[in-house]
Amino acid sequence: MAENPPQLAPETGKDHPVEPSILADRDNKPPVRRGAKRRRNILILAVALVVVIGGVFLWRYLSSYESTDDAQVDVHLYPVSARVSGYVVRVNVDDNQWVEKGTVLVEIDPKDYEVAVAQAQANLANAEATAQSLNITVPITSVNSSSQLRFTASGIDDANAGVAAAEKQLTAAHAQLEAAEANDVRAQDDLHRYKLLVDKREVSAQIYDQALAAAKSSTATVSAARASESAAQQFVQQARSHLAQANANHQYAETGPQQVSSTREHVQALIADVEQKRALLEQAQLNLGYTKIVAPVSGEVNKTVVVGMNVQDGQQLLTVVPLDEVWVTANFKETQLKHMQVGQRAEIHVDSSGQTFKGHVDSIAGATGPLFSLLPPENATGNYVKIVQRIPVKIVLEPGENRGRRLRPGMNVVPDVYLK
């Protein structure tokens, strides 16, 4: 039998003898199936794709909001102080009690202030009685004097017009008298001529009678005209008398302002005294009202006053915390404000209760927090080190979120502001 040819090494293809045991082991291994290898590659690819897609979604989610743990609940505290001094007779609230706006919290002994009000009322009544006894009517008298002055001035004008009209009537009456006298002279001459003619029987007696009647009529007309002229002269005299009276009234009216001004200073002093007494009465009534200290807003009360204290005006007695008006102050890093805007919705996670409240960005502070401190930092030095600053952001709650008043000022919270 022919011997088997020598086996070549698979790496080099050269003639190297191979151990028969090695060949036997290789021949005994099962062949690797090509389908299983393909499924393994697909599985690895699918896992990698899921990881990439999940990473993308995770990155988009984490970049869709900004969060900070440097945040707390804030509110405006309302200090309640006394506006008058006195002895505290009643405290109507306890610590941490909820009160409504306008509730009487503390009462100060009002007796001293009631006496002050009564005294102020008496002083005012005395001043008003003094003013009434002197019949102080300077403003009315001044107006009446001005009106009377204008009235008398118009009376002078009317009197002047009356004089002018009377003089014109006198002139007209005089002219009528002259005309009547001229007509009478002509009528008398006609009567004389007709008398001569009737004696000679050259005209009839009827014509003479007509001439006689005309002469008598003209004589009567002259008498009437003369009487009219006399009456017109009397009218002129009356009009001039009225003018003289109007001038006298006007001169008297002109003395009215001088009479008013002679007592004006004294009157002004009395009026000022009445106003001063009225102002003192109003102040006394205000002080009496200040003995009852009321809540300026609705909220919970923290008190430092007890019955029996003698308080001074301006001394703080209570503090009202309006829990319905709380907000969140979140100190975000300046690098987190790139896409933050007013109106973006937010979620506030409370450390104490684990609750989450909804809100929105109300405003962003105009400066960083350190600039509002007593000694703000000065960076214009040679040792400046850049530090990321924080800027306060005000987040307000949506209506009805703090219905149970669980948020208290000073609580630590974690707000998430959604940028998209």
Give me the amino acid identity at 360.
H
**Residue 341 structure tokens:** 């805007």
Distance, in Å, from the CA atom of 106 to the CA atom of 315, rounded to the nearest integer, reads 13
Question: Which helix or strand (DSSP H or E) is residue 165 part of?
Answer: helix 138-199
Token reading at 9: 């090494």
Q: Which residues contact 407 (CB under 8 A, 6 or more apart)?
A: 73, 323, 326, 350, 357, 397
Cα separation, 183 vs 218, in Å, equals 6
Query: How many other CB atoms sit within 10 Å of the CB of residue 210?
Result: 14
**Model confidence, pTM:** 0.57
State how far the alpha carbon of 94 is from the alpha carbons of 87, 104, 143, 318, in Å.
Answer: 19, 12, 63, 10
Q: Look at residues 226, 227, 246, 254 and name the one whose alpha carbon lies nearest to residue 163.
A: 246
Sequence-separated (6 or more) residues with CB below 8 Å from residue 172? 232
C-alpha span between 218 and 187 (Å, rounded) = 7
Q: What was the pLDDT predicted at 100? A: 95
Please count the other Cβ atoms lying within 10 Å of the Cβ belonging to residue 259: 11
What local confidence, expressed as pLDDT, does residue 298 receive? 95
- The SS3 assignment for 399 reads coil
Cross-sheet strand order for the sheet of 86-91: 292-294, 104-108, 86-91, 310-311
Tokens read off for 185: 């002279």
pLDDT computed for residue 42 by the predictor:
81
> How far apart (Å, rounded) are the C-alpha atoms in residues 129 and 323?
54
Q: Which of 150, 156, 155, 144 has the alpha carbon at shortest distance from 259?
A: 144
Scanning 5-137, the segments in alpha helix (DSSP H) are: 20-28, 34-62, 111-133
For residue 194, the model assigns a pLDDT of 66
- What's phi and psi for 281, nearest 5 deg? -65, -45
Q: 360, 364, 378: which is closest to 336 by C-alpha? A: 364
Give yes or no for a contact between 105 and 299, defined as CB atoms under 8 angstroms apart.
Answer: no
Q: Which distant-in-sequence residues (6+ apart) come within 8 Å of 284 by Cβ?
A: 113, 116, 117, 119, 120
Q: What b/e readout covers 280-319, taking b as 16+ CB neighbours within 10 angstroms?
A: bbeebeebbebbebebebbbbbbbebeeebebeeeeebbb
Domains of the chain (ranges; CATH) run 65-76+325-418 (2.40.30.170), 133-273 (1.10.287.620)
Mean pLDDT of successive 10-residue segments in the chain (420 residues)?
46 48 51 69 80 73 79 95 95 94 95 95 91 64 61 70 75 76 73 69 68 75 77 77 75 65 72 91 95 95 94 94 94 90 93 90 88 72 73 93 90 90
Count the neighbouring beta carbons within 10 Å of the beta carbon of residue 163.
19
Predicted pLDDT of residue 388: 83
For the beta sheet containing 299-303, the strands, ordered from the edge strand earlier in sequence to the opposite edge, are: 78-81, 316-321, 299-303, 97-99
Q: CB of 98 within 8 A of CB of 276? A: no
